[in-house]
Amino acid sequence: MDIIIDETLQEKYEKLKNYIKSLGSLAIAYSGGVDSTFLVKVAYDVLGDRVIAVTATSSTYPKRELNDAITFIKQIGAKHIVIESEELEIEGFNKNPVDRCYYCKKELFEKIWKVAKAHGIEYVADGSNFDDLNDFRPGMKAACELNVVSPLKVAGLTKEDIRKLSKELGLPTWDKPAFACLSSRIPYGERITKEKLSMIEKAEEYLLGLGFKQVRVRYHQDKLARIEIGKDEMEKFLDIKLIESVRNKFKELGFLYITLDLEGYRTGSMNLSLNLNL
Catalytic residues: 181
Give the separation between CA 246 and CA 135, rounded to whole angstroms.
32
* Nearest in space to 116 (alpha carbons), one of 79, 145, 142, 85: 79
How far is Cα 188 from Cα 269, in angstroms, rounded to an integer?
11
79 φ, ψ to 5°? -75, 135
- Across the beta sheet with 215-220, the strand order is 215-220, 224-229, 257-260
DSSP 189-214: TSPP-HHHHHHHHHHHHHHHHTT-SS
Distance separating alpha carbons of residues 55 and 122, to the nearest angstrom: 18
Residues forming beta bridges with residue 123, ordered by sequence position: 26
By the 10 Å C-beta count (0-12 exposed, 13-18 middle, 19+ buried), 222 is classed as exposed
Percentage helix, strand, coil for the chain under 3-state DSSP, each rounded to 5 = 55, 15, 35
- Alpha carbons 213 and 225: distance in angstroms, whole number: 18
